[in-house]
Structure 1
């Protein structure tokens, strides 16, 4: 067959011999192989081949059949210092879907072939024909200062009837993009565009920004190395380089180290359908071979290549981040220094447990022994107290026996009194309760290790997949402010989470200091530490500090590659923090009956379980929302009952009978009011809030279920905290200067933090292309965006909230516990 082709060329060619010398033997062999593969020449047949010397910017109108084949020979001068693009435009004037025209462009080191009409496939294999095509030829490298290159356009078909076409080859004068200079062009699915960018001297990183005023049609922007072929069609643009879908905005950060030639192509392809960008789904074709009219899918696009930040900005960003949070360590040292100076000058005691002289201590001890004793004979001598402290090292568990002495008073009688004092709910052995609440810390530390390790492994895998495949639709970054460092695509989003870790560690150190001071007071048998103030149990505080540090670590892991499959990493320890804060508030006045660590973490695990289910199945699923709303309301009712009766009720087979009896005796028979007014007010408000949130979820069914669940936790925490502050002031207690400053400061910081949080720079609830419409430039030091500022402010606000919980009852440290009300 090849021999027949060779003879045919020499026998039938009408052009001069010089025309066949220029393409060379390789081009001739390629033409023969093309005919053999296409089946255009059977054994024993000959085809009329016409070769024409063609020129740029000239439109050639011609007809092709299975009996003839036309070759257009072009030549142009290529300069090493000047890059010009060459674009081939083809338009078929007659419909020939069964026998399309094959165009083969042969050039140095590359061959480009395409058929017209071009059939592009969409979702469900829907077919869209295009009669007008425009393709840009890749640029083979040249070592000489100036070189003449040849390329040929072969036109052939299997159609026995003549097919009319137009061919035009033109130069693309503005083929090289200039730094910080906007360039506009038009693209369509059959007419993709790409342009070249060369890194200037001294620039190692640039940001390619592509914008359009048109949301649809959906398009793809790609950054590819300088090589042939260039993948510039919808069905192959994802084969190489970095790429992302876009509607109005797109941005890719490109580093010089990834492109050995110090240059790259910016490729823009308009997709055949809009589903990838969240557009409407077109109808399904009735027949598998049905061709669908694509309509007008032309899009006007602007591209700008700008230098990215340099290493100095990275250093400034890191120093700024460290400086902010180290200043809190410095401020803490200054406050401690000020307290030490005031103590040394004799203005105030060093702590609530330290006094001027041992004699004063004995006098205060005797006075307290005389005034205390909420339930005789509960008075204890100093020797017995010291002996109890020494025995605290023994291994004793709360579940081994009931630590409340029922001989003195039955706990059902004590806990159901109309007016309770802290002394009524702080009767259990301190060493038992201390171990009980330390379990919170050890459990959350264990959970953190087992939770964090697979998370870190998973996000490393995500980042590796993004780097290897180049698919930037996997992660929902703010691409206009995503600064890479090493293998990380958005280092600034990780760095801004440092505050959670540093401030969490600082809070642990503050709690540790308080714990040490309290233990020293107990060793001295200080009666203020033994019998006054809110009982000091620091296990929950340690757990809160650990949770804050883990929130920073897991938020950083989430921001390695943020998407809907790993959003729970960012919210899991937020649920933990909200739950632990509510438990700590409740523990302050109810130390004996607070939930155990196992029960608390089991409930938090259930919350996280529903969070995952909501992310996966909750979007628009009515059945899920009905089930969740019912569970939410039932859980609210059960918790309300538990809080109202101080745990003195049982959930068993007789619970319905007892409920009916209470309703009959208290509401129907004598219509008496609630016995515990304050608790009833809190629980009624809590039920109103939670039932309203459940109704909102059932009606609106928000897409972001994890944030909805977090909003429920935060609303309940704020409600309980406001109730606690109001009841504290109503009970005649006061708020000292330090917690008051913390409350005001924290409220202001929370306000600013929420403002930046709701800016919404990206969202995984939409498609990646729609998410990029919310992207915005950096606003702080050219390094941090709005969400980074949210990280800064929210970590500071959480730290301030923890300090409020730690210090707001310091005014009670010298008040007997039988004078402190429970609410």
Structure 2
């Protein structure tokens, strides 16, 4: 029966019958039971003891001393009792066992106290202190007794000092700083009672290093490691007694919080010196935000992004009114007679099919390189933006293709030969690369939208399931080292630990949906223009294909969803969820920029998504193997450089090359003809400038990665994508202005607005409120208070601003070529 009682009293979560904690409790309880019976060997001495008195005594295996204490407990006052012990012995072969028997608990410990560090190194402590909690009482006053039993198995007398004192400041007060000292062998804990009207509090400002020892403090409640500062949010609903204990345990070694590892092994005296460490701590319990702040935060978030819907609606109304005014003006012009219409049809000036556009003129109206050169030499003005009124349009039409499959078009031998002639011209116009049937290209680019929608569903569902599991583990185990929150501004809601970080991602979803609505409106207007055979829609401007725009809007919405999933429990393993669709967005933007002037030869959705899948694959490999792995970085850098060279050749020759051998022959031929034999510049100077700059940037990034080997591989990969996107965008704008084209007011406003917002967004992004590249304790050193409405932190503002900046960037891509809507395609240059 005694053994069964020992088992039940000490079998706590995390302990097993064979664990050290179980064995100590078993010995302690059985020794006490033995001490209460006369048949036990040895002399038992019981003393009436008082608080705040030092008892210096000696203990042997023949003498067991029991100190009896009593104190009066008040129902409306909570105080603690502190037991402090000092043993004048350096050896650990015969420790002294102290057993404290209370009304509802038994606490036992040995002195010297042995605590284990990393690699099971043992640290002996001769100064030990433990706090006893006060059992609850229903009476107004109650006298409670407790006993301190001192025993040892050593036959040699061991001197010790015992002191029991009251802890008057055992209860923490709201918004009141409390200072104290803790050591590994003298942990501290205090009680906090929720006052009326307070449901959530934040415990903060604790230094790193009931269960109050290093080997059992994680058995119950919430816990985290700390170095200089940290915070834990506690909710009343999690504690039925409306109170909780704040327990502070000092680690025996700094390695637990990310400090340097000392050499091993250490001598006994060095272990004692290393273990003698104390920390001065300040604890503050302050009320968290109330429900009104939650409501204000949600209303603010909705209000900010709904305002963009209102502004867009007003701009659309103004634009629609302007278009109707222009259309009314056209309706008032004299109508052509049937004879005049037939004459224009015979000359090819009126389109016969809404799907025919961008063909080469039979009369050679497409500008040749010689004509452009002569124009530039004679100084006759712009060579890219040459406006011409509609009554001078004199372009022949080719017969519409009978097939709507792109592959049928590309495999014809004569068409393939024509491609080589057209695409290798020194100066290309959009009409040269917009020769395919619109039905073919519409199907081709709509696949982007349907593919990314499918990818989003299959990618998001397991991600959501995984982060829910993460959050459940955090809530059940109480281990707050799993997730890297900004604990000083992490507001829980329901099961979510940081609701504010999730809510701030709403902007990506709302603005992504708004962008889809804007694209849909433009798509409808363009289709209506095609139905009524509008000549400007058929023959002028950049060919309008909206499939990539739909894909971009969907990617922006998915970025918001996956970023919210990441912030459910941000850590090292799921950071890729936050960046995957960032790669998608960067890749789709580059493809859209290229598609504007190269609609016929842009990559298919299958090729594009396959390349993006390869990027994400390397992102996963970088997270798993990239940290300090030289082989991985060498392989990745080589692949990066080879891919850059391959893409450069593809862009330079407009896709008119194939095969590795052909690629190498062309490179050698260009070097020989352009650089060695003729010592002349490249044939396509503009493209060469872009590609040289692109190779310099990418080779530099590859060298940086190989030398520095950054820990955050996902961010490094994203930086490569963003640098290439910015380089190509800058090139596009420069070439657009150089070609004599202009940027309309709406597009210019979008560019300036987006640039400013991106600047502020990056400022808040680099504040670094937490980082999973360090230990959880070190990450908490970067935590900061909320700065907006007492609800949002710097990273939340980054979410707000970056979603607005991405939306603005999409609008720039959508509107930047609106100035060409009435310019013939054979007057719009390719670059």
User: Normalised by the size of structure 1, how large is the TM-score?
Assistant: 0.85
The whole-number CA distance in structure 1 between the counterparts of 2:119 and 2:712 is 29
**TM-aligned CA distance change 1:196 to 1:181, over 3 Å:** same
Provide closer, same or farther for how the CA distance between residues 15 and 43 of structure 1 changes in structure 2, counting only shifts above 3 A: farther
Larger mean Cα displacement after TM superposition, 780-789 or 606-615: 606-615
Alignment match of 2:346 (pick from 320, 337, 343): 337
CA distance in 1, matches of 2:775, 2:17: 58
Alpha carbons of structure 1 residues 9 and 133: separation in structure 2 relative to 1, 3 Å: closer
Measured after TM superposition, the shift of residue 13 of structure 1 is 39
Task: State the 1:121 CA deviation.
Answer: 0.9
- 1:134-163 CA deviation, whole Å, 9 max, x = no partner? 000122111111100000000001111011
Task: Say if 1:206 and 1:301 are closer, same or farther in 2 by CA, change over 3 A.
Answer: same
Report the secondary structure of 1:17's partner residue.
Answer: coil
Q: Matched residues in 1 for 2:32 and 2:691: separation?
A: 84
Of residues 556-565 and 120-129 in structure 1, the stretch that sits farther from structure 2 once superposed is 120-129
CA distance in 1, matches of 2:170, 2:346: 66
**Residue 669 of structure 1: CA displacement?**
2.1
Local SS of the residue matching 1:525: coil
Q: Deviations over 1:658-702 (max 9, x none)?
A: 433332233222222100010011111111111111111112111
How big is the shift at 1:20?
A: 29
Tell me if the contact between 1:183 and 1:304 (Cα under 8 Å) persists in the aligned partners: yes
- The Cα of 1:24 is off from its aligned counterpart by 21
- Give distance in 1, aligned partners of 2:12 and 2:795: 73
CA, structure 1 residues 172+288, in 2 after alignment: closer, same or farther (shift >3 Å)? Answer: closer
The answer to whether the 8 Å contact 1:12/1:49 transfers is: no
Taking the aligned partners of 2:225 and 2:354, their CA distance within structure 1 comes to 62
Q: SS at 1:293's partner residue?
A: helix
Structure 2: distance between partners of 1:188 and 1:245: 15
Aligned residues of 1:473 and 1:768 also touching (Cα < 8 A): yes
Relative distance call for 1:195 and 1:42 in structure 2 (3 A) is closer
1:57-76: CA deviation from partner (whole Å, max 9, x where unpaired): 00111111111100000000
Alpha-carbon distance between aligned partners in 1 of 2:433 and 2:17, rounded to the nearest angstrom: 110
SS in 1 for 2:225: strand
Corresponding residue for residue 445 of structure 2 = 437
Deviation at 1:30, TM superposition (A): 4.2
Distance 1:512 1:11, change over 3 A: closer
- 1:13 is paired with a residue whose SS is coil
Question: Does 2:189 align with 1:187?
Answer: no
Structure 2 unaligned residues grouped into runs of 5+: 316-344, 361-380
May I ask how many residue pairs the two structures share in their alignment?
767
The 1-side partners of 2:707 and 2:14 are apart by: 77
Deviation, 1:273, is 1.4
In the TM superposition, residue 23 of structure 1 has moved relative to its aligned partner by: 22
Q: Matched residues in 2 for 1:698 and 1:418: separation?
A: 38
Distance 2:14 2:612 in 1: 83
Could you tell me whether the CA contact under 8 Å between 1:477 and 1:490 is conserved in 2?
Answer: yes
Query: In 2 relative to 1, CA 579–69 (structure 1 residues): closer, same or farther, beyond 3 Å?
Result: same
Q: Deviations over 1:454-504 (max 9, x none)?
A: 000000000000000000000000000000000000000000000000000
The answer to whether the 8 A contact 1:15-1:51 is kept is no
Deviations 1:559-616 (CA, angstroms, capped at 9, x unpaired): 0000000000000000000000000000000001101111111111111111111122
Residue 99 of structure 2 aligns to a residue whose secondary structure is strand
Structure 1 residue 22, shift from structure 2 partner: 28
Deviations 1:68-88 (A, max 9, x none): 100000000011111111000
**Alpha-carbon distance in structure 1 between the residues aligned to 2:11 and 2:119:** 48
CA distance in 2, matches of 1:661, 1:250: 64
Per-residue deviation, 1:25: 19
Instruction: Please give the secondary structure, in 2, of the residue aligned with 1:244.
Output: coil
Q: Is the 8 A contact 1:91 1:133 kept in 2?
A: yes
Spell out, residue by residue over 1:608-642, the C-alpha distance to the aligned partner (whole angstroms, 9 max, x if none): 11111112221222222121111111111111111
Q: CA deviation at 1:95?
A: 2.3
1:720 to 728, 733, 743: 728
- Structure 1 match to 2:258: 278
Report 1:780-819 matches (<5 A): 780-819=788-827
Residues 182 and 575 of structure 1: CA distance in aligned 2, closer, same or farther (over 3 Å): same
Question: CA separation of 1:12/1:809 partners in 2, compared to 1, >3 Å: closer, same or farther?
Answer: closer
Assess if the C-alpha contact under 8 Å between 1:112 and 1:229 holds in 2. no
8 Å CA contact retained: 1:528, 1:813: yes
Q: 1:553 to 1:501 in 2, by over 3 A?
A: same
- Deviation track 1:223-268 (CA, whole Å, cap 9, x = no partner) reads xx99999100011110000000000011000111111111110010
Deviation (angstroms), 1:293: 4.4
Which whole-Å deviations, capped at 9, do the CAs of 1:706-758 have from their partners, x for residues lacking one? 11111111111111101100100000000001000000000000000000000
Tell me what 2:669 maps to. Answer: 661
For the Cα contact (< 8 Å) 2:125–2:276, is it kept in 1? Answer: no
> For the Cα contact (< 8 Å) 1:353–1:518, is it kept in 2?
no
Identify if the C-alpha distance between structure 1 residues 822 and 387 changes in structure 2 by more than 3 Å, giving closer, same or farther. Answer: closer
SS at match of 2:45: strand
Instruction: Say which is worse superposed, 285-294 or 464-473, in terms of deviation.
Output: 285-294
Q: Distance in 1 between matches of 2:727 and 2:225?
A: 43
Match of residue 235 from structure 1: 215
Q: 1:382 to 1:16 in 2, by over 3 A?
A: closer
In structure 2, C-alpha distance between the alignment counterparts of 1:399 and 1:643, rounded to whole Å:
21
Runs of 5+ consecutive residues of structure 1 not aligned to the other structure? 35-39, 210-224, 339-347, 361-378
Q: For the Cα contact (< 8 Å) 2:358–2:434, is it kept in 1?
A: no
- CA separation in 2, counterparts of 1:646 and 1:13? 66
Q: Return closer, same or farther for 1:407/1:709 CA change in 2, 3 Å cut-off.
A: closer
Q: Check the 8 A contact 1:69/1:154 in 2, yes or no.
A: yes
- What SS does structure 1 have at the residue aligned with 2:184? coil
CA distance in 1, matches of 2:820, 2:16: 107
Residue 757 and residue 393 in structure 1: after superposition, are their counterparts in 2 closer, same or farther (change >3 A)? farther
**Which whole-Å CA distance do the structure 2 matches of 1:149 and 1:695 have between them?**
73
**Deviation, structure 1 residue 406:** 3.4
Aligned counterpart, 1:580? 588
Deviation at 1:382, TM superposition (A): 15
Contact 1:103–1:153, Cα closer than 8 Å, also in 2: yes
Change beyond 3 A, Cα 1:624–1:111: same
Residue range with higher mean Cα deviation, 117-126 or 502-511? 117-126
| 1:277-310 CA-partner distances (Å, limit 9, x unpaired) | 1111123338999966434310001000000000
